Structure 1
Amino acid sequence: MASAPLNEATSTVVPEHDDAAAAVAAYLHQHETKGLLRFITCGSVDDGKSTLIGRLLHDTKRLFDDQLSALAADSRRHGTQGDAIDFALLVDGLAAEREQGITIDVAYRFFSTDQRKFIVADCPGHEQYTRNMATGASTADVAVVLVDARKGLLTQTRRHSYIISLLGIRHVLLAVNKMDLVGYDEGVFERIVDGYRGLATQLGIEHVTAVPLSALQGDNLLERSPHTPWYRGPSVLEYLESVDVTRDRADIGFRLPVQWVNRPNQDFRGFAGTVAVGEVRPGDAVVVLPSGGRSRVDRVVTADGDLQVAAAGQAITLTLTDELDISRGDVIAAAARPAEVADQFAAHLLWMGEQRLLPGRPYWMKIGTRTVSATVTEIKHKVDVNTQAQLAAKHLELNEVAYCNLGLDQPIPFEAYRDNRDLGAFILIDRQTNATVAAGTLDFALRRAGNIHWHHADIDQAARALSLGQTPRCAWFTGLSGSGKSTIANLVEKKLHAMGHHAYILDGDNVRHGLNKDLGFTDEDRVENIRRVAEVARLMTDAGLIVLVSFISPFRAERRMARELFGEGEFIEVFVDTPLSVAEERDVKGLYAKARAGKIPNFTGIDSPYEAPESPELRLDTTAAAAETLAQRVVDRLLG
């Protein structure tokens, strides 16, 4: 039996199993501490993204025997390479993807080498899945943009590259794939690279490295290929292992978006979250935003005990030396260098909703750990992804990108996206469906946001209402053209006037002669039409009046927006429920006949939708009762 090695320093015998244990510990420590690189593969359809990732996983020996067996079986069943292995099937996990030979969803894979750990997102190439690609790009440090050498730069290549720049990815590996199908022609490669570098310059992408590639054959994937002796750069794997993705961020100081208030008992109150940027130590002076409260850090708490310092990426709980009112969504920041606070912004936006974006329509905005109500107040321009030309636009369709102004219902702490992803990136959520409809990045606060303050008046709504002897309310009449809204509202005003109450009608036709005479009847203009009228109605109720608003107001989202301007119990939605056939029979203004003849476009009920209220305070069936009776129901509700 071999003797154990002698430790010369102590002249003691060291058991061999201790050496083995030390080696294992060192190996594990090496893999625990090596860096992590997140990257995406993107480009147009069938450029070879999934094949590239599959071949990387295979050739770096990161597959188990059962995965290899399954890959061989799937290649025979679904593959596109005859009897050979189809590496794309390692990533195309959905049945629909395998049947069509395309990527639909974002597929994430993990692998590692001795130098780095990797998380790769294989993004879909079809235009209708651009929103999926944006999801994958939102956390990536590097983008691998694949281009088919036979096709060159395509529209989707440009679109994906624009999104890459929008989401702040500064490092691009341009993989000119399928070089084997063009005879590894250096001229083809150089023409594509020159074209892409020009695009990258336009988009502000700072670092582009180009590799001639055959993902299927493995050329220049792990090491340089003899088929491209003219190429002197790194292989794909060499690039991924060595690229320096240190962000050139401004030194903005410590930021902790509060995720939840940790209160396990009455003796402990901490504020939990993940450090977005910077470092924090006990004793540091901090400020809470947006409130502006100041304190010092008492403890930095983790599940493994208190820390003397915490840095970006660490999940911690802070306790403070002072009792401050702090909630989820607030940001704890370095007192000497706090984040900005604003409620209006210029922002880049990628629209991902099936229904078009209409300025003025309210959405939920989620930014960091905070959720607020937000409205796109203006589309400054949309962007042609092929030419980067700035185009005028009144709305956005699926996958369109634009530069917009945003208005929020409350101020939030923020950072420009170029400085801080966590406090500069946001999503918009549809308030009816809860679907994510847009992703965006904040550019800067609009100056007027910090310069406008609410002027305090000594006489408030309660005092005005008392002098009038009534309770201010807004009755919002909605229904089709010809439903009887204006007739009933007029009767309600007459009854209120006879009883000594002060009321006023805002009628859709009348308002369009003055306040809204610049608006047409497109969806965009209808949203703005309701926004303006709702604001006027709110001011009138603040003056102590009873306001009767008679507008078709066809969209639920805008009626909800109007409701949210009023206090509890002040807004009464009155649905004048008249069937389209009955309204069309009445047609006192001859509008339906003109709409049917194509002379009035975007007419509600004909070629523009009407979204009936789901739970109005009052539903008036004009086919079952006389207008006088229905008007009295409204009066009773207003005065009840």
Structure 2
Amino acid sequence: MDILRFATAGSVDDGKSTLIGRLLFDSKAIFEDQLEAVERTSRDRGTEYTDLSLLTDGLRAEREQGITIDVAYRYFATPKRKFIIADTPGHIQYTRNMVTGASTADLAIVLIDARKGVLEQSRRHAFLTSLLRVPHLVLAVNKMDLVDYSYERFEEIREEFTQFAAKLNIGDLTFIPISALHGDNVVSRSENMPWYQGTSLLHHLENVHIASDRNLVDVRFPVQYVIRPQRANDHDFHDYRGYAGQVAGGVLKPGDEVMHLPSGLTTRVASIDTFAGPVDQAFPPMSVTLRLADDIDISRGDMICRPNNRPHTAQDLQAMICWMSDAPKLGPRSKFMIKHSTRTARALVRDLHYRLDVNTLHRDEAATTLTLNEIGRVSLRVTQPLFVDDYARNRLTGGFILIDESTNATVAAGMIVEAH
């Protein structure tokens, strides 16, 4: 069974947490004691119905304010597929949380209140989804019960959002009218909307095709760890040298010719080992150990690729940055540690080209700093070469984080646009 990672986003009180609670409840993915606790809390708060949003809003502040603050991860499975849900906040002051939750997602669900229509926050979430190159986007028009399940209202919202989405880089866009509170079109088709001919939300999640979303063309294997077991009198392990890591792109098979970077030396894959034993091939996102036919000086942070298909070897990067820290601010001449795949180096911000208004998509070229939750384009100079791809081509080798050297805190997430 494959795993679908999806993120939910939407404006405040659009029903994200209720939708996830409904998915968990109707797919029978919660325990009886969890349901009893939610029913008890709902009664204590004077709610006439079981508030399923309490299944995900775990922080006390979230429950008191009726909002989502932190990224809440939930796991459930159906007979067809396993799911990891990232419930991300809707507030603009939690943009960094949404970037964190959506950065690894295969699909994003943006909720829209059928009464309010497409809001500024809806556009912002769609833009962030496209910026993070989430391959599939579902626009779930929620609270259809409050507009009498109106086909005309659903069509208005669909048309308005389609016009806005044309400006963005969204590969797959699906519209589904739902009522998370009553379960319409969430797990099963709704009888209240006979005009809707599509599938339920869960059916779409179970069947959306994600295998081809990963880059299976460009072989990229960042080396995370060199394995040299030492066992006395064990000749099988005496000469063992393996290179462990996660396949970031392409398909590797025993016998394939590969190149090591930065040395440029070529060799062949002798075998591919896993915890369960040798395998015939490795592809994203498998974590494996490669054994090579020749002894090459390989260490953590190096890259294994194809001789005729190499990543950029770059020290000058153009990137989109989402600033995630309260302090300090990002500006020209700022210095950080940069962590890209398995390699860590020092980086200098050479220039801030513009700050992007995520609500209007306006570029402020006069900006001199980025503060919390702001996004901008920067030029970086790195102290040692990194093996990178454009983020649009490979999210794993095209993404990085910036770390404050003094506190070791992650202060920014970046997406490479160009490499020199």
TM-score (norm 2): 0.93
2:224 and 2:301 in contact (8 A); partners too: yes
Partner of 1:278: 250
2:142 and 2:177 in contact (8 A); partners too: yes
Q: Which has the higher contact order (CA 8 A, sep 6+)?
A: 2
* Cα displacement (A) at 1:78: 4.4
Change (3 A) 1:233 1:308: closer
- Structure 1, gaps ≥5 residues long: 1-33, 447-640
TM-score (norm 1): 0.62
**CA offsets per residue over residues 64-94 of structure 1, 9 Å max, x none?**
2212211111222347xx2310000011111
* Cα displacement (A) at 1:251: 5.1
2:135 and 2:213 in contact (8 A); partners too: no
Partner of 1:43: 10
**CA offsets per residue over residues 543-570 of structure 1, 9 Å max, x none?**
xxxxxxxxxxxxxxxxxxxxxxxxxxxx
For 2:35 and 2:100, the matched residues in 1 are separated by 29
Q: Secondary structure at the match of 1:377?
A: strand
Aligned mate of 2:44, from 68, 74, 77? 77
For 2:295 and 2:2, the matched residues in 1 are separated by 39
Partner of 1:612: none
Aligned mate of 1:94, from 59, 64, 83? 59
Aligned mate of 2:117, from 147, 152, 160? 152
- Structure 2, gaps ≥5 residues long: 231-237
* Cα displacement (A) at 1:54: 0.1
> After TM superposition, where is structure 1 displaced by more than 6 Å over at least 4 residues in a row?
none
Aligned mate of 2:269, from 269, 277, 297? 297
Change (3 A) 1:268 1:114: closer
Partner of 2:234: none
Q: Does 1:371 align with 2:344?
A: yes
**1:372-391 aligned within 5 A:** 372-391=345-364
* Cα displacement (A) at 1:301: 2.4
Aligned mate of 2:25, from 52, 58, 62? 58
Change (3 A) 1:254 1:111: same
Q: Find the structure with the greater CA-based Rg.
A: 1
For 1:397 and 1:189, the matched residues in 2 are separated by 37
Partner of 1:315: 287
2:217 and 2:251 in contact (8 A); partners too: no
Partner of 1:184: 149
Partner of 1:340: 312
For 1:337 and 1:206, the matched residues in 2 are separated by 25
For 1:129, give the aligned amino acid. Answer: Y
Partner of 1:532: none
RMSD: 1.8
For 1:161, give the aligned amino acid. Answer: A
Partner of 1:567: none
Q: Does 1:213 align with 2:178?
A: yes
For 1:308 and 1:59, the matched residues in 2 are separated by 39
For 1:95 and 1:149, the matched residues in 2 are separated by 28
Partner of 1:394: 368
Change (3 A) 1:206 1:283: closer
1:124 and 1:133 in contact (8 A); partners too: yes
Aligned mate of 1:427, from 398, 401, 404? 401
Change (3 A) 1:230 1:283: closer
Q: Secondary structure at the match of 2:241?
A: strand
Name the % identity: 51
**1:529-540 aligned within 5 A:** none
* Cα displacement (A) at 1:302: 2.5
1:78 and 1:99 in contact (8 A); partners too: no
Moved more, 242-251 or 210-219: 242-251
Decide which structure has greater strand share.
Answer: 2
* Cα displacement (A) at 1:286: 1.5
